[in-house]
Structure 1
């Protein structure tokens, strides 16, 4: 059984977030996990299994909550107040503060090498961070179920044009936190600002534009670390087939020294029932790519 501990610390913009550390002292490499929309460690069995596997094979694991954990939360601020965020109100660009906090914390815990792993929305956040921060300790990037956020909004938000109009009007009227009249993707209540930051063409979160397929994938094309990406083939976030989407991402990662990908058969978006299989895929890639015995 791995040694697991909770960590609390402050982002540079004054929010107290919580992380969970699966401790490893034999080696100096740690996987930093960035969760997806409304994620949290309590409900993420996939991440728990992954942490156990990584420690068993000599790697640390750190699950870093972002300000978008849960549908709705009230996060303590340094001035003693609380800020209401969660997936409903999250501003995508602020993920830089959250990931920066956990990168610094993982280094403070004694790890020399960090592999950033983003799941779902966390994959877009990880790409955004690596495209803007050149942290020498970050050795690689893992993308689990990486989505084309804008493409998916075009495919599944039947009222998308109305939602964009309503969101832009609310922001113009100084009501960025006003909840839209329609659900995003049929299930998620979102504020006006959050929707525009996530679903508008060429927004900062639009860094895997598989549906639009421009010549250059912007942020992804700047990343010069090895990348491993994977998806399931059941209820996934793919635009075409999972293998076609992953192959397109591979082709657009033009500075990446190696981009490998896999499709996990009979696995869904959260890898329920396939947790051990996926954890072993991650361990095998790290062992192979970084030549650690």
Structure 2
């Protein structure tokens, strides 16, 4: 395993972790979810080690939403002068995640890999979908979605965020877009006004509408490569049931030549104590397809 410090096109210095191999053919590039990071993710090192043993590369790359509030070194792309920027899940701009995903895909290419599988967990899956919608990377060979949430749909269905959205709108109207809201997101971590509004119905993250289940399903239905979807049996992102969710999504993946949906028994959203099972599913799928 090797640590990588690399700069995005807009100048953020992000940490990546790379598990390599001698074949240099196929690499899985992984996008993590909200407030996740290399140190506190319990399954990523197992996944990376096993993929490497099986002859595949694996890059777990931090995106600007790692941790809750973090201090990232930033280098001006023009002047090369460095400064510091406070970001993390509390302050991140979802649309800028394109730079982070692009960084680690390009790093895999520089390392010599000719085939890329784009993977993600939780909110990272939505970032990958957004990247696909904007960049249209036809050359990516396959996609892995682990516990992908319809964040906007679940928030809207809960009916618990109306006051937070009103507070965020008021703060932005007063020119205080980065003001942290009074209540924590999901009761877990603080979030600023502008970041919360990304999660509003019709907003930039409204990209995976499983709750609403409309006839047209956006970028997901345009994917033309193999898809692996994984859910924990007790996953917090389940909309109906794992089986019904997979049935709907398989029907929506109208251009996908090979859709696989797997449920990890007793698995939760973070796959704690189910890390080996998760790794086995991913490795078996990658070996069978690539």
Q: What are structure 1's unaligned runs of at least 5 residues?
A: none
Give 1:46's match in structure 2, choosing from 29, 43, 46.
Answer: 43
Q: What's the secondary structure of 2:85's corresponding residue?
A: strand
Q: Deviations over 1:109-131 (max 9, x none)?
A: 11111101110001111111112
Q: CA shift at 1:27, angstroms?
A: 4.0
Q: Deviations over 1:34-63 (max 9, x none)?
A: 001111111112011000110111111100
Structure 2 Cα separation of the partners of residues 98 and 179 of structure 1: 24
Q: What's the secondary structure of 1:266's corresponding residue?
A: coil
Match of 1:206 in 2: 206
CA contact (8 A) 2:156 2:201 kept: no
Mapping for residues 1-293 of structure 1, pairs under 5 Å: 4-78=1-75, 79-156=81-158, 158=160, 160-197=161-198, 199-290=199-290
CA contact (8 A) 1:34 1:65 kept: yes
Structure 1 Cα separation of the partners of residues 187 and 73 of structure 2: 30
CA contact (8 A) 1:64 1:102 kept: yes
Q: What's the secondary structure of 2:18's corresponding residue?
A: strand
CA contact (8 A) 1:16 1:76 kept: yes
Residue range with higher mean Cα deviation, 114-123 or 253-262: 253-262
Q: TM-score, normalised by structure 2?
A: 0.94
Q: CA shift at 1:229, angstroms?
A: 0.4
| Count of aligned pairs between the two proteins | 285
Structure 2 Cα separation of the partners of residues 243 and 37 of structure 1: 25
Q: What are structure 2's unaligned runs of at least 5 residues?
A: 76-80
Structure 1 Cα separation of the partners of residues 129 and 235 of structure 2: 23
Q: Which runs of 4+ in 1 moved over 4 A?
A: none
Residue range with higher mean Cα deviation, 47-56 or 179-188: 179-188
CA contact (8 A) 1:37 1:120 kept: yes
CA contact (8 A) 1:114 1:139 kept: yes
RMSD over aligned Cα, in angstroms? 1.4
Q: CA shift at 1:148, angstroms?
A: 0.6
Q: Deviations over 1:123-159 (max 9, x none)?
A: 111111112213354111000000010122134462x
Structure 1 Cα separation of the partners of residues 108 and 222 of structure 2: 24
Q: TM-score, normalised by structure 1?
A: 0.93
CA contact (8 A) 1:73 1:84 kept: yes
CA contact (8 A) 2:147 2:235 kept: no
Residue range with higher mean Cα deviation, 231-240 or 68-77: 231-240
Structure 2 Cα separation of the partners of residues 219 and 156 of structure 1: 25
CA contact (8 A) 1:131 1:223 kept: no
Structure 2 Cα separation of the partners of residues 236 and 161 of structure 1: 21
